[in-house]
Amino acid sequence: MIMSGSTFEEEIGYARAVIDGDWVHVSGTTGFDYATMTISADVVEQAEQCLRNVESALAEAGCSFADVVRVRYLLPDRADFAPCWPTLRRCFGDVRPAATMLVCGLSDPRMKFEMEVCARRPAAPRPAAAAR
């Protein structure tokens, strides 16, 4: 089990990520900065912070974005997705995971972007510092 320190994990009762053999399942992750429990009002900044949060969980599991095989994007407003594409492309442009974008309500009205990923751990886990 991988915990990020988010108050949501404690309040709701879940882990940021779970390792199951070769697989790493990262829970729905938003653009909150978990150290300060603050969130930007800007959707692109939320996407960037979200990716940092996901990257941290993957690194703790010995993975990187290169190991992601599935990603789901969840946004309340479909118009907010396209502005995030350049940010997402920086992480996934060469990886090309299977992806889905869903328009749905999120648990906090400040949230404009959420994602979850599934990754397959490499045969030899990467050290956390080299996971980028």
Query: Has residue 131 been placed in a domain?
Result: no
Number of domains in the chain: 1
| CB neighbourhood size of 50 (10 A) | 25
Query: Has residue 130 been placed in a domain?
Result: no
Query: Has residue 128 been placed in a domain?
Result: no
Residue 35 pLDDT exceeds 90:
no
Task: Give, in order, the Cα–Cα distances in Å from 54 to each of 30, 71, 75, 79, 91.
Answer: 9, 11, 16, 23, 11
Q: What is the 3-state secondary structure (H, E, C) of 78-125?
A: HHHHHHHHHHHHHHHCCCCCEEEEEECCCCCCCCCCEEEEEEECCCCC
Q: What is the pTM of this model?
A: 0.88
Rounded CA-CA distance 42/113 in Å is 10
Burial string for 87-99 (b: 16+ CB within 10 Å, else e) reads bbeebbeeeebee
- 92: CATH: 3.30.1330.40
Q: Which of 7-11, 73-77, 114-118, 127-131 has the lowest mean pLDDT?
A: 127-131
Range of the domain at 93: 7-123
Mean pLDDT of 117-124: 90
